[in-house]
C-alpha cells in the first residue's frame, strides 16, 4: 500500500467510522502530508508505510525543533501514532514505528512575578467599604508578599502563630505543603498591617482561631482571598495577579537582592532545591528585559 492510499484510507476511517469533525480530519491530513513530504525529500523517493521505521519518525520530529513548540510537535506525533496504529490493526503493518517514540517534554512556563512597583501598587489599591475588611485584605497581601506564603498556608495561619521577637516577628506555618511546618520571618510592613488588622478583627466577632477571618467570623478561604486580590489588581488594570504571583514576586525579588537559593528554599518551604532553581530563570528573564530596555547597544539593535 502506498503512503497516499494509506493516508486516504485512514482519513475516510476517522471521518466516516469515528465521526471526527471536518476540521480535525483536515488537520490529520496536513500532518500526514508533511511527514510524507519530509520522507520523500530525505530518501529521494515516495515513502511506503511498511518501510517507515522509528529512526525516521525521530528524525522528522527532530527537524521540527526550532520551528515548532513542544505542544505542536506532540500533536504531530499523536497524528502519526494514530495513523500507524490504524495500519497495524488493519494488518498493513506488523509493528507501529511510533511505539517507542516519546513526545517532547513541555517547558513549564516561568512563574509570573510582579515588579516591585506593581506589588506596592496592589497593596495600596486594596479598598473595602468596611474598615475592618480593608485592614484584613491589606494585611493578607503584605503577608503573601512579605513572607512568600502559599494562599492555603496564609489562610491556615492562626492568630497565635504570629510570634513577636525583638526587632520583628515570625509566623509559624503549621499547614504547609506535605504537612511540613516551618517558621518564616515577617517584614516590618507585614507586622504593621497585621497589627492594624488585629485591632479591628474583634469587630467581626471571631468564631475561629484563624488570623484572617471572614465577615461572619469564620476562617477565610483561599478562594475568597483570590477573589479580593483580583478585584484590587483589576482596578489597576493588572491581569494575572494571584496569591501565587505574590509568592513568586517574593522569591524573585529576594534573589534579585542577593539572597542565596538555599535560604529562599527554606523560606518557601520547598522540599527540593530544584523547585527553587526556577527563580534563577525568572530573575535572568527580568535582567534581560532590563538590559533590552536600557542598554544603548540593545536599543540600537532594535528595528
Selecting among 28, 60, 145, 279, the annotated active-site residue is: 279
Q: Is 150 a catalytic residue?
A: yes
Looking at the chain, how many residues does it have? 303
Of these residues, 172, 175, 177, 286, which one is catalytic? Answer: 177
Active site residue 105: no
279 is known as an active-site residue = yes
**Could you confirm whether 253 is annotated as catalytic?**
no
Give CA torsion, residues 251, 235, 220, 128, to 10 deg: 130
How far apart are the C-alpha atoms of 22 and 294, rounded to whole Å?
50
Q: Is 4 a catalytic residue?
A: no
Which DSSP helix (H) or strand (E) runs through 10? helix 3-12
117: left (phi over 0), alpha (psi -120 to 50) or beta: alpha
H helix and E strand count, the chain:
14, 3
- Out of 7, 76, 136, 247, the active site residue is 247
Query: Catalytic: which of 7, 36, 150, 248?
Result: 150
Please tell me which residue in 75, 81, 244, 286 is annotated as part of the active site: 244
177 assigned to active site: yes
Grid cell at residue 217: 467570623
Query: Buried b vs exposed e over 123-161: b needs ≥16 C-beta within 10 Å?
Result: bebbeeeeebbbbbbbbbbbbbbbbbbbbebbbbbbbeb
Active site residues: 150, 177, 244, 247, 270, 279
Amino acid at each position: 500500500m502506498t503512503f497516499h492510499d494509506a493516508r486516504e484510507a485512514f482519513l475516510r476511517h476517522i471521518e466516516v467510522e469515528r465521526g471526527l469533525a471536518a476540521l480535525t480530519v483536515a488537520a490529520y491530513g496536513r500532518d500526514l502530508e508533511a511527514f510524507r513530504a519530509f520522507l520523500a525529500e530525505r530518501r529521494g523517493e515516495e515513502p511506503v508505510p511498511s518501510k517507515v521505521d522509528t529512526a525516521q519518525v525521530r528524525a522528522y520530529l527532530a527537524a521540527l525543533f526550532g520551528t515548532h513548540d513542544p505542544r505542536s510537535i506532540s500533536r504531530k506525533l499523536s497524528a502519526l501514532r494514530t495513523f500507524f496504529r490504524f495500519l497495524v490493526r488493519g494488518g498493513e503493518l506488523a509493528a507501529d514505528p511510533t511505539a517507542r517514540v516519546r513526545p517532547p517534554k513541555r517547558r513549564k512556563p516561568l512563574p509570573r512575578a510582579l515588579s516591585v512597583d506593581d506589588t506596592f501598587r496592589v497593596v495600596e489599591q486594596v479598598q473595602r467599604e468596611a474598615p475592618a475588611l480593608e485592614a484584613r485584605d491589606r494585611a493578607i497581601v503584605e503577608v503573601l508578599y512579605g513572607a512568600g506564603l502559599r494562599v492555603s498556608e496564609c489562610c491556615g495561619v492562626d492568630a497565635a502563630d504570629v510570634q513577636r521577637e525583638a526587632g520583628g516577628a515570625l509566623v509559624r506555618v503549621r499547614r504547609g505543603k506535605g504537612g511540613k511546618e516551618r517558621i518564616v520571618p515577617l517584614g516590618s510592613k507585614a507586622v504593621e498591617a497585621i497589627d492594624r488588622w488585629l485591632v479591628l478583627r474583634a469587630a467581626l466577632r471571631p468564631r475561629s482561631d484563624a488570623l484572617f477571618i471572614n465577615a461572619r467570623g469564620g476562617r477565610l478561604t483561599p478562594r475568597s482571598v483570590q477573589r479580593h486580590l483580583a478585584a484590587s489588581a483589576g482596578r489597576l488594570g493588572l491581569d494575572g495577579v494571584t496569591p501565587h504571583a505574590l509568592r513568586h514576586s517574593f522569591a524573585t525579588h529576594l534573589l534579585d537582592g542577593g539572597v542565596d537559593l538555599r535560604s529562599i528554599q527554606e523560606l518557601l518551604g520547598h522540599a527540593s532545591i530544584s523547585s527553587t532553581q526556577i527563580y534563577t530563570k525568572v530573575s535572568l528573564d527580568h535582567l534581560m528585559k532590563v538590559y533590552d530596555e536600557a542598554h544603548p547597544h540593545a536599543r540600537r539593535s532594535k528595528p
